[in-house]
A and B are shown apart, each in its own frame.
Chain A
Amino acid sequence: DAGVIQSPRHEVTEMGQEVTLRCKPISGHNSLFWYRQTMMRGLELLIYFNNNVPIDDSGMPEDRFSAKMPNASFSTLKIQPSEPRDSAVYFCASRRGRAKNIQYFGAGTRLSVL
């Protein structure tokens, strides 16, 4: 299995630009999570999908952030417009079912907003 695949690995952009991060979960996994990791706040859950439906987006910082999961094999996290304080590592994780809740993480996208 290829694991959770995130792209790009690194993203550098200028303030005000739109940024789209992508995630392909492990085949057969029905839950998908987006996390943000910063030095100050550690790892925070941004949004959680179950069977492609957003279940809880209370962690999304503000309206500039949006996430979609159009099908079981693809999700995007979009920031528009981006700001320097959005600079962080963004992780996607997926999980099969819910019984044992092992979340498998992607390698993350390091976002730098200048």
Chain B
Amino acid sequence: AQTVTQSQPEMSVQEAETVTLSCTYDTSESDYYLFWYKQPPSRQMILVIRQEAYKQQNATENRFSVNFQKAAKSFSLKISDSQLGDAAMYFCAYWGINAGGTSYGKLTFGQGTILTVHP
């Protein structure tokens, strides 16, 4: 079974600084997607960024970028120029394509990292 581990229960950053959230995963599948979701106090789960495993280039979305290390099974999220609105719980998630090539559709989530942004 696939597992996703976020080893940092809490992180903090000063406004305008950069912070990196860690995520590792375990899988035997060769093709999969990785995601970072943000959950602010409003509870809404918001997709931040997505990485396709077969793509070597790291995904970027404005101030958000990932460092995808496939061999190490590591998928960290970097937030540049942190803003107060970035304060939230961040979840790393995994979705895999099984050996039969079918997309099951089940997202496996990590335990989350609470990010605090200090003004």
Contact = CB atoms under 8 A, between A and B. Distances in A.
Contacts of A31: 105
A107 B50 contact: no
A98 B105 contact: yes
Given A98-B103, A101-B95, A101-B103, A42 B109 contact: yes
A71 B60 CA distance: 37
B42 A56 contact: no
Given A42-B112, A56-B106, A101-B33, A107 B42 contact: yes
Contacts of B33: 100-101
Contacts, number: 47
A105 B109 contact: no
Q: Classify the secondary structure of A's interface with B.
A: strand
Contacts of A103: 47, 107
A103 B108 CA distance: 12
Category for how many chain A residues contact B: 20 to 34
A102 interface: yes
Contact of A105 (B45, B95, B104, B105): B45
Contacts of B107: 33, 45, 101, 103
B95 A42 contact: no
B109 A50 contact: no
Nearest to B91: A43
Contacts of A50: 105
A95 B105 contact: yes
Interface string A78-110: 000000000001010101001111111101101
Interface of A: 31, 33, 42-43, 45, 48, 50, 55-56, 89, 91, 93, 95, 98-105, 107-108, 110
